[in-house]
Structure 1
Amino acid sequence: MSETPRVLFWRHGRTAWNVEKRFQGQTDIDLDPVGHAQAERAGRLLATLNPDVIVASDLKRAADTAGYLGRASGVPVEYDKALRERFGGSWEGFTAAQLAERWPAEHPTMSIPDGEDVAEVGDRMRAAVDRGLARTPAGGLLVIVSHGAALRMGISRMLGIPDERREILGPLSNCCWSVLQARGDAWRLMEHNAASLPEPVVLSDDA
């Protein structure tokens, strides 16, 4: 086994608020039936990667998603509040259309007047990943189960992307994942918004 660690960032399955395009933030919304089916399917696939450590947000949509992988792999799920979604303040519960109407200046840049600062989300996500990695054996796989915005901020922080350029990473669909692998002192993105297992990579000269 390679001594290089990997981190798989997995977004929770679908919720009713996802369908309605409502800002969820830290409101504790359940998976809908489609979300449970997505998590069950993805959990079976990801179990074949033999995760060593699984750490999830304690919000139900992420915790329940992680549970499917825990049962399929036999690896207990740990919970870390630092993996929660970005707190959305007064925006939580509103649809995207309502947010655009009520906060026309702030909505395009997701500058939530009474919400959590983007840098704070990146800091806590990176700290949670580091805690998980500390419990992951050399060359092992850490699975982080969290939320769309928080995951992109966490991935950006791992890759050294400035917070103001976080949108360079495309969004994560429900129950899709991204994989980072360490190379020396840096991390590189191996997969993004994936829903199937990776194919073997034929190394090029600059790999």
Structure 2
Amino acid sequence: MDRGRAAVFPLIEEVVENAKTHQILIGAGGGTRARHAYSVALDLDLPTGVLASIGCATSRQNARILQMLLAKHGGVYLNPEDFEKLPLYFRVGCIPVMVGMPPYEYWEKPSENGRIPENRTDSGVYLTGEFLGARSVIFVKDENGLYSDDPKRNKHARFIPRISAHELLAKDLNDLVIERVVLANMLKAVNVREIQIVNGLVRGNLTRALNGEHVGTVIYVA
């Protein structure tokens, strides 16, 4: 969303095309506005639960924007308590869009490393997929996948196409394209034992991932 029309519209077209053959549930992230909001909240010395509530609000804004852009193609906004409506939405050809942030808000547990909530939008998307028994959970980012370091700052960062959650946690990398708590949750998962991270700025990547191709980075639990 942060990159505007040039990035979002082609991706929306790809989602609409794939919704004809796949049941797609979209979880929206918070993006740059969430990071800015967290920064302000930290300056104000607000607790973790309040930061989580703020993060939920920014994610909700993006979810609403996406739903409005998808409305003419069947995009509907899905509240967390309305999961029982998903079969109906899919049956009539809708594309549900929901807040990526888990609904813990004020009840988010304090983090061991500061006051930023551990469970943010990546966590919420993964937990939703695990809860629903999704066939796949795909994270659409603005990077090609996982790197050994931030590729925007380190041109020598090594691309990692496939790695286990155990190994990735053991590496304890300084920069991760996905929230660490997702990896910890994967170790306890029953349904979703593999996730995929793709670059949504490259047209066709989402389609390939939905069709089961290895594009981007795959993180798995053996």
TM-score, normalised relative to structure 2: 0.32
TM-score, normalised to structure 1, is 0.33
User: Larger relative contact order (C-alpha < 8 A, sep ≥ 6)?
Assistant: 1
| Larger helix fraction of residues | 2
